[in-house]
Amino acid sequence: MSFDVQSIRQDFPILQSQVYGHPLIYLDNGATTQKPRQVVETMVQQYYTANANVHRGVHHLSVVATDMLEQSRETVRRFINAESAQEIVFTRGTTEAINLVASSFCQQVMQAGDEVIVSTMEHHSNIVPWQLQAERKGIVVKVIPMTDDGVLLMDAFEQLFSEKTKLVSVAHVSNVLGTINPIADIIRIAHDHGIPVLVDGAQSVPHMPVDVRALDADFYCFSGHKVYGPTGIGVLYGKREWLDRLPPYQGGGEMIGTVSFERTTFNQTPYKFEAGTPNYVGATGLAAALEYVEKIGMNNIAAYEADLTQYALQQMSQIEGIRIFGPMEQRGSVISFLVGNIHHLDMGTLLDRLGIAVRTGHHCAEPLMHRLGIEGTLRASFGIYNTHNEVDALVAGIRRVASMF
């Protein structure tokens, strides 16, 4: 399928909206994406025709709902090229997936003084869970430094390993800088030291092909709502040997084998990590979203968004007084910027009055902001339905707002 952005836009009814009398220009895809009708209609259809609790029932609706959930798991497996559907754990999103690994991995593998390596550009979701484990268990968090333009220092990364290192946990793509980290190299170096790697794929899976086996990732996670799917559903991929080894994250129904007041045995992977009634309709919606972007083609999406981002960088760099953060090459479809001395919140508020939705603030990456010596930025982040005309409108909007100061 060739990439037809106008045809794609027709699948997203919200893009026909007006904001303060202006056509909506939605450039906050790094926070969440809009949903195509195909995803919404799939979920509505399940609620109307196949809604029943899964795995526990022998009646027809339960069997159908269970089949749909497991078909969705298989869709995810295929999408990221996992070896087995048993390596796919459904979570509420990337945040819960990282917390799951932090809790279970630290419980099973790490002792006081053991180390986890993260990077300077991590989202709080890949910082705070490890800090919680540092308080509870006494583990140590070490940080990969970066250059001023947002590139990880790989020589320094290699120097961080010690006999106490137990895990590397890094973002595939920075949600602030757009930096595409050399994740295959990071995994190879870690494996050379005998250390597993967890990859935060929240900002990569929506924008580029991801093959967890080609990367040789030990754990890889992403969120449904950032890849045109529903909120409240996400994925943790884990190599089977790791998932089998780790203890459950939560207790309850679904995740058990047998229960008595004396002891409990646990279900097999992945169910031992899915306590309680799963978000089975959300899983169906996620599968529909993945099938939607598969039909367009992830390579087509990557090429289109790369072209759009380069165009935006070229046009925005001509704005007087603008500072664009992050590398100019090897970057995803995220542009964080400031203009002169205008506060990001003021600029974002005024762009909103022009119908242009961008994100403002520290983007859940305060340590990165401290490294850059700023409080926050504006962030424009692109998706499959954004256009060159919308980039032109953003540039014109920034210039118009800047002229007010």
Domains of the chain (ranges; CATH) run 5-30+297-402 (3.90.1150.10), 41-295 (3.40.640.10)
Tens digit of each residue's pLDDT (9 = 90 or more) over 44-71: 999 999 999 998 778 999 999 999 999 9
Assign 336 a pLDDT band (cuts: 50, 70, 90).
very high
Nearest residue to 190 (alpha-carbon basis) of 211, 161, 156: 161
- Does residue 127 contact residue 274 with C-beta atoms inside 8 Å? no
pLDDT at 353: 97
How sure is the predictor about 264, in pLDDT bands with cuts at 50, 70 and 90?
low
- Tell me what percent of the residues of the chain surpass a pLDDT of 90: 91
The residue among 364 and 264 whose pLDDT is bigger is 364
How far, in Å, CA of 96 to CA of 106, rounded? 15
Whether the pLDDT of residue 78 is over 60: the answer is yes
Q: Which of 364, 374, 396, 402 is catalytic?
A: 364
Question: Which of these, 376, 228, 352, lies nearest to 288 by C-alpha position?
Answer: 228
Please check whether residue 73 is in contact with residue 88, taking contact to mean a CB–CB distance below 8 angstroms.
yes
Report whether pLDDT(254) > 80.
no
Q: Residues 1, 296: contact at Cβ < 8 Å?
A: yes
The amino acid at residue 137 is K
Is 364 among the residues known to form the active site?
A: yes
| Position 269 pLDDT exceeds 60 | yes
Average pLDDT for 35-39: 98
The whole-chain average pLDDT of the chain stands at: 95
What's the pLDDT band for 268 if we cut at 50, 70, 90? confident
pLDDT at 256 over 80: no
